[in-house]
Amino acid sequence: MPDPKSSINYYEILEISENATRKEIVEAYQRAKAVYSKDSMALYSLYSDEESNNMVNLIEEAYQVLINPQRRELYNREHNINSHRAVVNIIFDKPGELGRSFVETPNFGDTSDDYEDPKINKAAFKAYVSVSKQESASKVPEYKLDESFESKIRFEEEFSGVFLQQIRKYKNMNLGYLSNVTKVAVYHLEAIEREDYKAMPARVYVRGFIKSYAKALDLDFDKVVDAYMKRYDKALEK
């Protein structure tokens, strides 16, 4: 297992290759979090609570960088890592529609006979370009004011993932833009909206993500955080 005090890189922390796919990164992250959780009896006698917490923080840091294509590419350059694989995160998010596609470039270091080149979706790349414009926008997207929905937001007490998604779409923000503003990975934003608690990191991170999400949507973040975390805690009690 990695030593929390060592200077190993993010790939070594998650125990994956430098050409790992997104799926492999997610699986490695979930596996590592389980290993270093407080409930892991396997490491109970090997690490102190402080060491385990340090490792969990390193795992989270490594995941947040490697799961984001742009941050991963920058990290690779800064650390002279020659990865043959690049991942383009393409986000489709129009009114009433949510979908994503990941296009991976060929691993040119793989010369095996069974290697297949990925199919490049030209329509997906066009969508990526249009979405990227909002991601890099310096101003908050404009939207048409709906007094009825604004009233519902003001008096709402139950801020579920579905309702947060409705507010985000009402305010004309796609997940790429929200991720750029909040610095929260799209993967986690989706999990928040789906209320997929098993796909989320530790509670302290979730609370911070919700606060950033609410701030970006100009909501009463204390109210939103309290309401969402009650749902989170109740779901995990079952």
Pair (65, 109) in one structural domain? no
Indicate whether 168 pLDDT > 60. yes
Residues 173 and 196 in one domain: yes
Q: Please say which residue of 59, 78, 97 terminates a domain.
A: 78
Same domain (yes/no): 171, 210: yes
Q: Per the structure, how many domains does the chain have?
A: 3
Name the more confident of 126 and 146: 146
pLDDT at 7: 58
One domain for residues 201 and 226: yes
> In percent, how much of the chain has pLDDT > 90?
28
- Compute the distance between CA of residue 161 and CA of residue 193 in angstroms, rounded to an integer: 4
Range with the poorest average pLDDT among 18-22, 126-130, 198-202: 126-130
Q: Does the structure show a pLDDT above 70 at 192?
A: yes
| 91 and 33 fall within a common domain | no
Contact between residue 178 and residue 196 where contact means Cβ atoms under 8 Å apart: no
Question: What CATH number did the domain enclosing 152 receive?
Answer: 1.10.260.40
163 plus 229 within the same structural domain: yes
Domain containing 170 equals 147-237
Instruction: Tell me if 47 is assigned to some domain.
Output: yes
**Residue 212: inside a domain:** yes
Domain membership flag for residue 93: yes
Nearest to 64 by CA among 212, 233, 230, 223: 212
Q: What are the C-alpha distances in Å from 232 to residues 66, 121, 194, 213?
A: 26, 37, 12, 15
Using CA atoms, how far residue 163 sits from 50, 147, 152, 185, 192, in Å, is 38, 16, 10, 20, 11
- 92 within a domain of the structure (yes/no): yes
CATH, residue 40:
1.10.287.110
Residue 193 belongs to some domain of the structure: yes
- 63 vs 56: CA distance, rounded Å: 11
pLDDT of residue 167: 97
Tokens standing for residue 157:
């007490």
**44 has pLDDT over 50:** no
> Tokens in use for 99?
């979908």
| Cα–Cα distance measured from residue 202 to residue 205, given in angstroms and rounded to the nearest whole number | 6
Inter-CA distances, 222 with 71, 163, 225, Å:
30, 16, 5
Q: Which of 92-101, 149-158, 203-212, 218-227 has the lowest mean pLDDT?
A: 92-101
Residue 107 is assigned to a structural domain of this protein: yes
- What's the confidence (pLDDT) of residue 49? 62
Judge if 63 and 93 occupy the same domain: no
Residue that is last in its domain, among 78, 110, 127:
78
Cα 212 to Cα 181: distance, rounded to the nearest angstrom: 9
Which residues fall within 8 angstroms of residue 139, CB to CB, at 6 or more apart?
A: none
Whether pLDDT at 120 is above 50: no
Q: Is the pLDDT of residue 88 over 50?
A: no
Same domain, 14 and 50: yes
Interhelix angle for 49-66 vs 69-78, to 10°?
110
Q: What does the pLDDT average to over 177-202?
A: 84
Last residue of a domain, one of 78, 103, 125: 78
Q: Is 2 a member of any domain?
A: no
Residue 212 has pLDDT above 80, yes or no: yes
Q: 162 and 203, same structural domain?
A: yes
Return the minimum-mean-pLDDT range out of 79-83, 114-118, 133-137, 194-198: 114-118
Across the range 88-112, mean pLDDT stands at 44
Does residue 92 share a domain with residue 74?
no
Q: Check whether residue 104 and residue 72 sit in a common domain.
A: no
Triad 212, 63, 138: Cα angle to 5°: 40
Q: Among 215, 209, 132, 220, which Cα is nearest to 176's?
A: 132
Q: How confident is the model at residue 106 (pLDDT cuts 50, 70, 90)?
A: very low
Using CA atoms, how far residue 191 sits from 31, 157, 226, in Å, is 18, 21, 18
91 shares a domain with 126 = yes
Q: Is the residue at 210 inside a domain?
A: yes
Lowest mean pLDDT across 125-129, 182-186, 193-197? 125-129
Tell whether the model's pLDDT for residue 140 goes beyond 80: yes
On whether the pTM is more than 0.85, the answer is no
